[in-house]
């Protein structure tokens, strides 16, 4: 029943009032001949205090006809006296039709409207009612109807345009075509209301002239929302009179009014951000890569360095199910995971990973899950795929998912080095350059790389080939596993229930198009319904061809023929003639996309997400609504955004909608829907290393009711020796509804606490999962976990050099120095230190070959084609310790980001006031413009070590100019440099300005580039060049090392003390440090070494010095320790004087020595031997000091052995 029918009929007084304002006659004529009760009662209000639309009479007539035909009661008036609590209470919906200006005449009338909405009344706002122009007088109205948006202008007149239906399930849009062409005065709003209202229809501005206030790609034109218990439906369409005789528009209005009246069920929350709840399941992930969800709700997910983890919803906790050894160079490691379709019965799980060793393969293997662990011994290898480990190329791919019929789909990247093709197509056919030729892989019908493979795993561990793949088994020069080919890196994709594959493919890195090479860097999203060739490396996007290119001569050939591609590379082992390239469904690059502007700008890292399938029979409070049924999801890893894609009736892309923009997302890595209908999301997190503290596993629920508490947990310290006192914190935990919460801690060792911030002492070694459960007043709970390790302390890793934010040139050699301390390991084995250089690109990095060393150097790449791209270097240093008694190994790490000395100004990390503007004369086609005095851009991190000067490339027309201030840490921070910018003769006349000296503020900072000018737009800035060595090796000569206190090759009696010393000098970069080892043991500079403490025989002193450039010098000195009667006599005197031999024993020893000396001089050797044997026996029996006793006995025995020959 509607709200109205629960109310009593109005009394005589109210009825008289209605008659007085002319309502009763209108309502009586609205539905003659119908004796049953109306479905609902509607108030049609058309008063105008501003612009009056000519279409009002036609609209009123239309509503009256609808009331008669659809059996609802309609009262029409323009008298605002109707706005009283009593009168409004008799209506289920108020239709505000073409109302303009302040149509309510008093505060009481406005309050009555508020009360009506607060009581759950319905509102339908049509056209001018979304632009009444009363936002300053009565802001409540625009907030109610437009979610706070305002209408600044509309299209220049009534124009033919296209509206796109976003929600085909809503009663107001269910009968509309996907693309709805109509004549309209198209309203613009000052911002999109997506996220605050449910968008039903959008306007496609590309089909008409929107005027100066165009909204762009996301232009809602009809929407609905729920405010408290009130239902609001609105459309900004309805200007022309003809609209109200337009059947589709009439149906649109009728459906909207019926939902606002509450008689037609409708979901008006599906695109409202607050309808979704993002819940952290595991905030302790380290470089997470992929996930899948089991039928029982467990989430299995991978970390690139070898962990497979499992989140168990029955305990709200996670654990490591498998730790598998991997090769982790480049993008390799554990990168793909999926569960068997019959997982509930067979417990089979599949991984795509890189086995350790030197064999250049990646592996698809099946494992068996037992409870929450994976038995490594159950591994069955299904497929091995070639994967180069030379000049680490990246582009691993590795995604796994099942499709219809139990077929396993495998995404494989092109395994081709992208760094020496200037950002265009890598087709280097020179001998020995096969790793730089994607024709060897992606365009090769006889190679598994650059493909989507489809196989059918068999129970015995092998696989069969499904029917319908690209090549049937037995066709020469082909692989039957190939389903689709011609991809660069199909890193993420999904397979729908009908077998349609939605795949995102990464593209090359060219910052701009070159008519002699090809297009700028484009990435793609493809819809695959049948096998085919998707273009790479010959064509990209909507079949834009590359040029053939001779890398030996540097000359360009003709454009490739996308309709008839030919692979004539000497590296091709497959078919020469390929099928016509299939164009992508969607594509974009770094800059604004003319075709798909909703995607914005920035780095390009496309991720094909899952397709949601709504199950009306599923009993789940968190499942996504029917609105998303059949919609593929898509994420942009580099831009930290998620989108939902709307498909038309033909299954092609209709529109792209931003999704959950108000909720922070950091590098979305993988998404899948679980059996509960909720979305499960992995986030890689920020940064460029392999362990980001802000990565995590999340569940996103559709929640229309009470939300679970937000739980935040932290602990310090996280590791150490028992007894370990740990301070836990629940800071940040809360109930979104604001109710009081309670806390329950389980420390994992059998003890608990209900304090919000307890202190707990762990007494036994082990690794513990401490869990906090927070409960709100309704009993709803949330949980979070933190891992504490007892018996082992995490190592501390410091990347001393290169410094974070330091500068380099591509092609430089960069030295590194890693310092590690670990209480349990003590002396650090540098072979366990991993230094991972990576080529940074936008928001991600391509890891290169890892280096196992504490000190050394790495070579940066040389590729002039990337000069315009946002590229840099990162260095990740890590150390895995040896673990402790009952405690697992722990990892410590540190990292640095290195900036190129030549930096495009548009690649700032943040800014204020300026605009990035396209201009042909700029180095990368873009520059910083629209500058006002005080505007700024910032770069972070920056360290001026080794930098002496800075130069800018700028332009300014005659009569303009200004200056640029470089400041450290803030816009008013320490001044690093001031660069004058004179007139250069024109906006497009760029000049490289003379370099100016800098004042190094010291350390790593955020660099603010502050613009100064007396007038608006004083100049444009294109790029910055930093002058100096930076962090590169500038000194190739090792330091000079001199050793004192001992000569090389010398012999010394063991009664002597040596004072060992050394000096190291380096005139170029200075000495960074020295160390010395005597027989493998550390020794300090200036140490006094008593030779009797050393063994008789040869010894080696090694002094190592490292200079500031990382050069290492080593100086070795060898010497021999001997003994004699004189040395023994001196040692007896020494030990006696030190109180280490008593007086009586001293006399006996000296007596034996005197006898041995006398007999030796007389040539009586046998007598001397007996004397020294007596000496040794006396020392053994009567010298109580252990060291003195051992030295004297040793020396006596050595002399005896010498005399005996």
In whole angstroms, give the CA distance from residue 318 to residue 309.
7
What mean pLDDT do residues 93-102 have?
A: 98
Mean pLDDT value across residues 519-544: 97
Mean pLDDT of 333-361: 97
Which CATH architecture fits 714-790?
Answer: Sandwich (2.60)
- pLDDT band, very low/low/confident/very high, at 447 (cuts 50, 70, 90): very high
pLDDT category, 863, cuts 50, 70, 90? low
Task: Read off the pLDDT of residues 1061-1080 as tens digits, 9 standing for 90 and up.
Answer: 999 999 887 898 999 999 99
Whole-number percent of the chain with pLDDT over 90: 88
Class of domain 40-271: alpha beta
Question: Does residue 4 register a pLDDT over 60?
Answer: no
Phi, psi at residue 348, to the nearest 5°? -90, 135
Average pLDDT over residues 257-278: 97
**How confident is the model over 941-956, as pLDDT tens digits?**
999 999 999 999 999 9
Q: Residue ranges per domain, the chain?
A: 40-271, 274-282+616-644+657-705, 283-615+645-656, 714-790, 796-899, 902-1028, 1040-1122, 1125-1204
- Given this model, what pLDDT does residue 841 score? 75
pLDDT tops 60 at residue 26: no
pLDDT of residue 1061: 96
How far is the C-alpha of 1010 from the C-alpha of 971, rounded, in Å?
Answer: 7
**Pairwise CA distance, residues 560 & 63, whole Å:** 60
pLDDT in tens, 1000-1011: 999 999 999 999
The fraction of the chain above a pLDDT of 70, given in percent, is 96
* Dihedral of alpha carbons 472, 475, 480, 482, sign: negative
**pLDDT for 471-518, tens place per residue?**
999 999 999 999 999 999 999 999 999 999 999 999 998 888 999 999
Written as six digits, the tokens of 261 are: 């009246």
| Cα 419 from Cα 439, distance rounded (Å) | 16
pLDDT in tens, 537-566: 999 999 999 999 999 999 999 999 999 999
pLDDT at 249: 98
Of 3, 21, 615, whose CA–CA distance to 261 is shortest?
A: 3
Q: Write out the H or E segment, with its range, that includes residue 281.
A: strand 276-282
pLDDT score, position 735: 94
> With 80 as the cut, is the pLDDT of residue 18 above it?
no
What is the mean pLDDT of the segment spanning 141-145?
Answer: 98
* Cα angle, residue 274 at apex, residues 271 and 280 outer, rounded to 5°: 110
Please write the tens of the pLDDT for every residue from 597-643.
Answer: 999 988 899 999 999 999 999 999 999 999 999 999 999 999 999 99
User: Does 1155 score more than 70 pLDDT?
Assistant: yes
Per-residue tokens: 1075? 């160390």
Which pLDDT value is given to residue 867? 53
Dihedrals phi, psi of 143, to nearest 5 degrees: -65, -40
Give the chain's radius of gyration (CA, Å). 39
pLDDT band at 16 (very low <50, low <70, confident <90, very high): very low
* Predicted local confidence at residue 1036, as pLDDT: 77
Residue 108: Cβ within 10 Å count = 12
Across the chain, mean pLDDT equals 93
The pair of structure tokens assigned to 316 is 């709200």
CATH code for the structural domain at 283-615+645-656: 2.120.10
SS3 call for 815: strand
> Residue 358: pLDDT above 60?
yes
| Band (807; pLDDT cuts 50, 70, 90) | very high
Beta-carbon contacts of 1181 under 8 Å, excluding residues fewer than 6 positions away, are none
Residue 921: predicted pLDDT: 87
Same fold: 714-790 with 1040-1122: yes
User: Which of these, 1113, 1104, 1108, 1064, lies nearest to 816 by C-alpha position?
Assistant: 1108
pLDDT one-digit tens code per residue, 189-198 = 999 999 999 9
Question: What confidence tier does 153 reach under pLDDT thresholds 50, 70, 90?
Answer: very high
What is the residue-wise DSSP string for 212-275?
A: TT---S--EEEEEEEETTEEEEEES---SGGGGG-HHHHHHHHHHHHHHHTSS-----TTBGGG
Residues 576-605: pLDDT tens digits? 999 999 999 999 998 889 999 999 988 899
Q: Give residue-wise pLDDT tens across range 680-717.
A: 999 999 877 677 778 999 999 999 888 999 999 999 99
Q: What is the pLDDT of residue 898?
A: 96
What span, in angstroms and rounded, lies between the C-alpha atoms of 813 and 1002? Answer: 23
Q: What is the pLDDT of residue 1118?
A: 97
Q: What's the Cα-to-Cα distance from 587 to each of 296, 421, 606, 1198, rounded to whole Å?
A: 37, 21, 9, 84
What band does 29 get if pLDDT is binned at 50, 70 and 90?
very low
Domain 796-899, CATH number (from 3.40.50.1100, 2.40.128.260, 1.10.357.10, 2.60.40.10): 2.60.40.10
Asked if pLDDT for residue 32 goes beyond 90, the answer is: no
**What does the pLDDT look like over 1110-1154, one tens digit per residue?**
789 999 999 999 999 999 999 999 999 999 999 999 999 999 999
| Whole-number pLDDT of residue 10 | 36
pLDDT at 328: 85
Going by CATH, does the domain composed of 902-1028 fall within 2.40.10.340?
no
Query: pLDDT tens for residues 1008-1028?
Result: 999 999 999 999 999 999 999
**CATH classification of 1040-1122, choosing from 3.30.1330.10, 2.60.40.420, 2.60.40.10, 2.40.30.10?**
2.60.40.10
Confidence of residue 354 (pLDDT cuts 50, 70, 90): very high
Q: Is the pLDDT of residue 30 over 60?
A: no
**Does the pLDDT value for residue 20 go beyond 70?**
no
**Using CA of residue 972, residue 978, residue 979, residue 980, what is the dihedral sign?**
positive
**Residue environment code for 709-739, b if the CB has 16+ CB neighbours within 10 A, otherwise e:** bbbbbbbeebbbbbebebebbbeebbbeeee
């Amino acid at each position: 029943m509607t709200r109205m029918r629960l109310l009593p009929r109005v009394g005589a007084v109210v009825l008289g009032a209605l008659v007085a304002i002319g309502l009763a006659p209108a309502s009586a004529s609205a539905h003659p001949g119908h004796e049953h009760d109306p479905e609902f009662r509607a108030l049609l209000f058309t008063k105008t205090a501003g612009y009056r639309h000519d279409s009002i009479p036609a609209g009123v007539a239309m509503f009256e006809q609808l009331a008669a035909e659809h059996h609802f009661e309609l009262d029409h008036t323009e008298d605002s006296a109707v706005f009283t609590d009593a009168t409004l209470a008799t209506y289920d919906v108020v239709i505000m039709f073409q109302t303009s200006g302040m149509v309510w005449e008093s505060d009481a009338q406005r309050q009555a409207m508020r009360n009506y909405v607060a009581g759950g009344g319905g509102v339908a706002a049509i056209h001018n009612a979304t632009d009444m122009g009363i936002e300053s007088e009565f802001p409540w109205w625009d907030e109610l109807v437009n979610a706070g948006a305002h209408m600044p202008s509309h299209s220049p007149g009534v124009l033919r345009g296209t509206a796109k239906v976003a929600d085909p399930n809503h009663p107001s849009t269910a009968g509309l075509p996907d693309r709805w062409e109509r004549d309209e005065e198209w309203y613009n709003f000052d911002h999109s209301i997506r996220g605050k209202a449910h968008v039903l229809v959008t306007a496609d501005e590309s089909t008409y002239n929107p005027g100066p206030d165009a909204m762009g790609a996301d232009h809602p034109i009809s929407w609905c929302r729920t405010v408290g218990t009130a239902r609001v439906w609105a459309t900004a369409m309805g200007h022309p009179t003809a609209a109200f005789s337009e059947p589709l528009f009439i149906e649109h209005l009728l459906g909207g009014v019926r939902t606002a009246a509450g008689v037609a069920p409708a979901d008006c929350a599906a695109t409202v951000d607050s309808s979704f709840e993002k819940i952290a399941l595991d905030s302790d992930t380290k470089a997470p890569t992929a996930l899948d969800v089991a039928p029982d709700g467990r989430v299995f997910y991978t970390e690139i360095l070898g962990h497979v983890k499992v989140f168990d919803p029955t305990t709200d906790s996670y654990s490591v199910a498998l730790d598998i050894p991997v090769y982790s160079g480049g993008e390799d490691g554990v990168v793909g995971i999926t569960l068997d379709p019959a997982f509930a019965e067979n417990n089979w799980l599949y991984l795509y990973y890189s086995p350790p060793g030197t064999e250049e393969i990646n592996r698809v293997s099946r494992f068996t899950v037992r409870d929450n662990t994976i038995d490594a011994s159950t591994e069955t290898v299904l497929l091995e795929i070639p994967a180069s480990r030379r000049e680490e190329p990246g582009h691993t791919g590795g995604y796994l998912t099942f499709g219809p019929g139990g077929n396993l789909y495998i995404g494989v990247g092109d395994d081709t080095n992208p760094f020496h093709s200037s950002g265009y197509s890598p087709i280097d056919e020179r001998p020995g350059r096969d790793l730089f030729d994607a024709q060897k892989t992606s365009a090769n019908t006889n190679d598994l790389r650059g493909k989507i493979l489809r196989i059918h795993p068999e129970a015995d561990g092998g696989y069969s080939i499904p029917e319908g793949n690209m090549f049937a088994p037995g066709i020469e020069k082909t692989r039957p596993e190939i389903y689709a080919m011609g991809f660069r890196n199909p890193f993420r994709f999904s397979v729908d229930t009908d077998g349609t594959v939605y795949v995102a493919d990464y593209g090359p890195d060219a910052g701009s198009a070159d008519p002699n090479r090809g297009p700028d860097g484009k990435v793609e999203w493809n819809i695959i319904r049948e096998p085919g060739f998707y273009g790479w490396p010959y064509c990209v996007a909507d079949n834009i061809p590359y040029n053939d290119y001779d890398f030996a001569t540097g000359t360009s050939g003709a454009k490739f023929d996308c309709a008839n591609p030919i692979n004539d590379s000497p590296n091709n082992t497959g078919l020469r003639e390929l099928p016509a390239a299939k164009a992508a469904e969607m594509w974009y690059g770094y800059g604004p996309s003319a075709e798909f502007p909703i995607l914005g700008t920035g780095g390009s890292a496309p991720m094909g997400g899952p397709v949601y399938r709504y199950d009306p029979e599923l009993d789940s409070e968190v499942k996504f609504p029917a609105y998303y049924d059949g919609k593929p999801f898509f994420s942009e890893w580099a831009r930290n955004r998620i989108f939902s894609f709307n498909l038309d009736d033909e299954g092609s892309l209709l529109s792209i909608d931003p999704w959950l923009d108000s909720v922070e997302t950091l590098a979305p890595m993988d998404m899948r829907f679980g059996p509960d209908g909720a979305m499960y999301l992995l986030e890689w997190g920020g940064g460029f290393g392999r362990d980001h503290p802000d990565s995590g596993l999340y569940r996103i629920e559709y929640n229309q009711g009470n939300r679970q508490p937000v739980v935040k947990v932290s602990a310090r310290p996280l590791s150490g020796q028992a007894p370990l006192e740990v301070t836990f914190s629940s800071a940040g935990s809360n109930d979104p509804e604001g109710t009081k919460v309670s806390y329950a801690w389980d420390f994992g060792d059998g003890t608990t606490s209900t304090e919000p911030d307890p202190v707990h002492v762990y007494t036994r070694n082990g690794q513990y999962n401490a869990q906090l459960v927070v409960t709100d007043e309704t009993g709803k709970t949330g949980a979070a976990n933190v891992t504490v390790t007892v018996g082992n302390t995490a190592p501390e890793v410091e990347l001393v050099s290169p410094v974070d934010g330091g500068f380099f040139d591509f092609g430089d050699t960069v030295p590194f120095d890693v310092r590690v301390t670990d209480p349990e390991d003590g002396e650090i084995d540098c072979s366990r230190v991993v230094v991972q250089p990576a080529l940074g690109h936008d928001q991600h990095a391509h890891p290169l070959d890892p280096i196992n060393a504490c000190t050394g150097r790495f070579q940066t790449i040389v590729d002039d084609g990337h000069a315009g791209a946002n590229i840099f270097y990162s260095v990740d240093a890590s150390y895995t310790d040896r673990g402790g008694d009952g405690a697992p190994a722990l990892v410590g790490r540190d990292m640095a980001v290195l900036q190129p000395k030549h930096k495009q100004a548009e690649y700032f990390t943040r800014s204020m006031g300026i605009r990035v503007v396209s201009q042909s004369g700029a180095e990368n086609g873009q520059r910083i413009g629209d500058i006002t005095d005080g505007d700024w851009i910032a770069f972070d991190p920056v360290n001026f070590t080794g930098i002496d000067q800075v130069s800018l490339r700028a332009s300014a027309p005659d009569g303009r100019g200004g200056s640029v201030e470089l400041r450290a840490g803030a816009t008013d921070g320490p001044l690093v440099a001031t660069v004058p910018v004179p007139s250069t003769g024109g906006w497009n006349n760029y000049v490289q300005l003379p370099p100016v000296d800098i004042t190094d503020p010291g350390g790593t900072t955020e660099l603010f580039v502050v613009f100064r000018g007396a007038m608006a737009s004083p100049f444009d800035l294109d790029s910055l060049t930093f002058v100096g060595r930076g962090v590169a090796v500038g000194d190739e000569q090792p330091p000079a090392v001199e050793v004192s206190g001992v000569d090389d090759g010398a012999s010394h009696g063991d009664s002597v003390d040596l004072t060992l010393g050394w000096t190291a000098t380096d005139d170029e970069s200075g000495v960074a440090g020295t160390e010395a080892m005597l027989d493998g043991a550390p020794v300090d500079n200036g140490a006094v070494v008593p030779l009797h403490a050393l063994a008789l025989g040869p010894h080696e002193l090694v002094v190592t010095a490292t200079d500031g450039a990382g050069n290492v010098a080593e100086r070795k000195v060898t010497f021999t320790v001997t003994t004699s009667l004189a040395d023994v006599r001196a040692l007896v005197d020494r030990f006696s004087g030190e109180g280490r031999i008593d007086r009586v024993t001293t006399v006996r020893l000296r007596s034996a020595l005197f006898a041995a000396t006398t007999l030796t001089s007389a040539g009586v050797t046998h007598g001397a031997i007996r004397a020294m044997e007596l000496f040794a026996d006396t020392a053994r029996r009567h010298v109580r000091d252990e060291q003195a006793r051992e030295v004297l006995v040793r020396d006596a025995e050595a002399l005896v052995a010498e005399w005996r020959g």
